[in-house]
Structure 1
Amino acid sequence: MSDEVQADHVRIRLDLSYDGTDFSGWAKQAGGRRTVQGEVEDALRTVTRSGGTTYELTVAGRTDAGVHARGQVAHVDLPREVWAEQGAKLLKRLAGRLPRDVRVWALREAPSGFDARFAAVWRRYVYRVTDNPGGVDPLLRGHVLWHDWPLDVAVMDAAAKSLIGEHDFAAYAKKREGATTIREILDFGVRRGADGVIEIEVRADAFCHNQVRAMVGALLFVGDGHRGVEWPRQVLDAGVRDSAVHVVRPHGLCLEEVGYPADELLAERQRVARRVRGQ
């Protein structure tokens, strides 16, 4: 895919959030399943009065079914005349057209070299879980996992720290043909909030399919005493999927933020990321 914007188009950055509960993930799918991309593209087609033309979105992180996003970023290339005529009104029009479980918070012309996916330098996710004996607060039930064993947050945090760095995460990833499983985890930590909800936060250059949820599954096994603190790193070093590593349910996971370099570094970051990812 070319990173060049057509001469008669302008690249627009969108910042958005959504509750993933009723979506079959971000990406459009065959069979009419409801997706975030499909809803936003449909709304954009309607509010720009483009007729049969669909302006396709490119996203920073293709979240799975049931996964939420608070700080998702996407871009779309619009004809210059459309942006000039309607740009100032698009945000409010989208608010009136989009379903209530997805919101676009900002629309602005992107700097040269911007690509929502390939120019990103990191993505930050948080997985939320509680070990409260009484279960999950009903008001949080769609965003917090209940784990019915007491969890040792300090041990979980130590195990998470052992995975920081650049590694081959094949043991925690669902392999995709032609895609590398080498990723760099920049930060990984576990903390318990005043409300008792445990937040497992991880920031990396990118993530493999199911990687975060698999790593969380391993940390939960450490936290409840079923495995030792060294086990997640042993699984990583073995390089193969361990049947004891469970991919936890998606509803506790949220994409919180996407980071980009300074504007003058965007084009170079894109080139590097495309070469590394091999696609």
Structure 2
Amino acid sequence: MSDEAQPGHVRIRLDLSYDGAGFSGWAKQAGGRRTVQGEIEDALRTVTRSGGTTYELTVAGRTDAGVHARGQVAHVDLPAGLWEEHREKLLKRLAGRLARDVRIWSLTEAPPGFDARFSAIWRRYAYRVTDHPGGVDPLLRGHVLWHDWPLDVDAMNEAAGRLLGEHDFAAYCKRREGATTIRTLQELSLVRGADGVITATVRADAFCHNMVRSLIGALLFVGDGHRAPDWPGKVLAAGVRDSAVHVVRPHGLTLEEVGYPSDDLLAARSKEARNKRSLPAAPARCC
């Protein structure tokens, strides 16, 4: 995999958003399921009149089924001639071809070394939940989880603070063969808004499968008094999945933003991100 487009091609950055309710996640799947990647690639093939040629997208964060995105980033490598022919009208043509639950906001030539996935230095998600006894505002029901126990936000923030930093998050991830579960959790904080909706901000260099929804599930158990604030940290330290940690429903989760370094550091970041991570070895114990 190259950090640069092949000769004769141009790497294009896409900034986009989507409502995940009608998608079986980002990534293309067998069986004809509707996915964000498949939808955009089909539209791109149609509006550029590319026949049987599909130009594959690389994405910053592969969201699961039902998860939304407001600030998703992807890239695609297009033949230079095709890009030159269509660049002025491509955005508007895609808007006319795509379904209304996915929008592309910009198409720009990426700087050298840019890779939507590997050049990213952080992804920021928001998870929204309400504990209002009456339930969720009907106009927000597709984006806010209802938790039917009162939640103590202070206790949840106390628990969240114990999870920050670089750790092996195996206890909060669905394992994938050959993939590391070591991540750096840069921010995990919760704020209750004037409307009563609690927004959890979760930012990390990267996330493993189900990590955000598992972390929120653990914090909800603290917030409603079923577990003490030190419990999520103990689960993390144990390093194994705990049956008490529930993976909360996907509709409350939105990918809000993806961060990248300055252009001169893109290639170096991409190379670093491809290296398999490990935690520093624990110091040897003396007699």
* Matched residue, 2:244: 244
Q: What is the TM-score of this pair, normalised by structure 1?
A: 0.98
Please say if 1:226 is aligned against 2:226.
Answer: yes
Instruction: Give the Cα–Cα distance (whole angstroms) in 2 for the partners of residues 188 and 115 of structure 1.
Output: 26
SS in 2 for 1:276: coil
* Matched residue, 2:124: 124
* Matched residue, 1:153: 153
Instruction: Give the Cα–Cα distance (whole angstroms) in 2 for the partners of residues 57 and 6 of structure 1.
Output: 15
How many correspondences in the alignment? 278
SS in 2 for 1:258: strand
1:58 touches 1:116 (CA, 8 Å); kept in 2? Answer: yes
* Matched residue, 1:203: 203
What are the superposed Cα offsets for residues 60-97 of structure 1, whole Å, 9 maximum, x if unpaired? 00000000000000000000001111111110001000
Amino acid in structure 2 at the alignment position of 1:63: T
Amino acid in structure 1 at the alignment position of 2:270: Q
Amino acid in structure 2 at the alignment position of 1:143: H
What are the superposed Cα offsets for residues 175-233 of structure 1, whole Å, 9 maximum, x if unpaired? 00000000001111011011110001110000000000000000000000000000000
* Matched residue, 1:14: 14
- Shift of the alpha carbon at 1:277? 6.0
* Matched residue, 1:217: 217
Q: What is the TM-score of this pair, normalised by structure 2?
A: 0.96
SS in 2 for 1:91: helix
* Matched residue, 1:109: 109
Amino acid in structure 2 at the alignment position of 1:51: G
* Matched residue, 1:188: 188
Instruction: Give the Cα–Cα distance (whole angstroms) in 1 for the partners of residues 31 and 85 of structure 2.
Output: 35
- Shift of the alpha carbon at 1:157? 1.0
Instruction: Give the Cα–Cα distance (whole angstroms) in 2 for the partners of residues 91 and 227 of structure 1.
Output: 49
2:182 touches 2:277 (CA, 8 Å); kept in 1? Answer: no
Amino acid in structure 2 at the alignment position of 1:173: C
* Matched residue, 1:71: 71
Amino acid in structure 1 at the alignment position of 2:251: H
Amino acid in structure 1 at the alignment position of 2:87: G
SS in 1 for 2:87: helix
* Matched residue, 2:44: 44
Amino acid in structure 2 at the alignment position of 1:275: N
Instruction: Give the Cα–Cα distance (whole angstroms) in 1 for the partners of residues 90 and 161 of structure 2.
Output: 43
SS in 2 for 1:190: strand
Instruction: Give the Cα–Cα distance (whole angstroms) in 2 for the partners of residues 276 and 199 of structure 1.
Output: 32
SS in 2 for 1:27: coil
- Shift of the alpha carbon at 1:2? 2.7
Amino acid in structure 2 at the alignment position of 1:214: S
- Shift of the alpha carbon at 1:100? 0.3
2:4 touches 2:11 (CA, 8 Å); kept in 1? Answer: no
1:179 touches 1:277 (CA, 8 Å); kept in 2? Answer: no
Instruction: Give the Cα–Cα distance (whole angstroms) in 2 for the partners of residues 4 and 75 of structure 1.
Output: 11
Amino acid in structure 2 at the alignment position of 1:186: Q
* Matched residue, 2:87: 87
- Shift of the alpha carbon at 1:105? 0.3
Task: Show structure 1 runs of 4+ deviating over 3 A.
Answer: none
Alpha-carbon RMSD across the aligned residues, in angstroms, is 0.9
2:4 touches 2:114 (CA, 8 Å); kept in 1? Answer: no
* Matched residue, 1:164: 164
* Matched residue, 1:96: 96
What are the superposed Cα offsets for residues 147-195 of structure 1, whole Å, 9 maximum, x if unpaired? 0000001111111111110000000000000000000011110110111
Percent identical residues: 78
SS in 1 for 2:27: coil
List runs of 5+ in structure 1 lacking aligned partners. Answer: none
Instruction: Give the Cα–Cα distance (whole angstroms) in 1 for the partners of residues 63 and 191 of structure 2.
Output: 23
